[in-house]
Amino acid sequence: MATDNEREMGKAGARRVGTITRVAAATLVVGSLVAELSCGGGEPEPETPEALMPTATVTSTAPAPPPPPTTAPTATQPSPLAPIEPALAQAAQAVLEQVAKEEAPPGAKAVGMPKVSLLGTGQFSEMTLSMAPGKCYTVIAVGLPPVAELNVQLLPSTTVPGMQTVLAEDQMVGARAVVGKSPNCYKWPLPVAAAARVVTTVAAGTGLVATQIYEK
């Protein structure tokens, strides 16, 4: 049988073993916590809000507007069919009346007023003529110097696309043009009235042009 001494020694040893066991268990718990913290098991770091993140600002500059278009200078030369000074118009009409005494058939009377225009080469003036059945017509045009060549045509008021119909035209050379000159005249052949265009064109030169229609 164990003595009292031996029993005391056994109890002391058991207490030491229990203490060692508790210390070892505590050591394992602490080691486990350290390992968890080292592996990122702790609370995550707060994220930086996007509103607080620095942002780059891009400034765009609008292109400068284009310069305004250059305005072409206004022409100072009189345009075709520009108003004529009364004194110049009267001078042109006087020349026209003198030519009419030579070129218009006897008994022909002026229809309306003469048309006086300031024209250059290639430019023209136009009048409207209403032709009646049985009537005879004469057109006289004169150009003042430096007009060198003048042409007159009698055209239908309505044209067919692609076709150029000429009822009558002058055959003269120079600054005088006559359609239906004396002793003849242009007689409208149809039994109904019709409208026609009287076109006076400057073929060479620039100056005052006067045109008059006569009816017989």
DSSP string covering 24-79: HHHHHHHHHHHHHHHTT-SPPPPPPPGGGS--PPPPPPPPPPPPPPPPPPPP-SPP
- Rounded Cα distance between 106 and 183, Å, is 8
pTM of the shown model: 0.61
| pLDDT above 70 (res 42) | no
Is residue 178 a contact partner of residue 185, using CB atoms and an 8 Å limit?
Answer: no
Phi, psi at residue 114, to the nearest 5°? -70, 155
- Rounded Cα distance between 68 and 172, Å, is 52
Q: Does domain 86-215 have CATH number 3.40.109.10?
A: no
The pLDDT tens digits for 155-171 are: 998 877 777 789 999 99
Which band of pLDDT confidence, cut at 50, 70 and 90, is reported for residue 66? Answer: low
| pLDDT above 50 (res 21) | no
What single-letter DSSP state applies at residue 96? H
The pLDDT tens digits for 116-136 are: 999 999 999 999 999 999 999
* Residue 185 CB neighbour total at 10 angstroms: 21
Is residue 212 a contact partner of residue 104, using CB atoms and an 8 Å limit?
Answer: no
CA angle (72, 74, 79) in 5-degree steps: 125
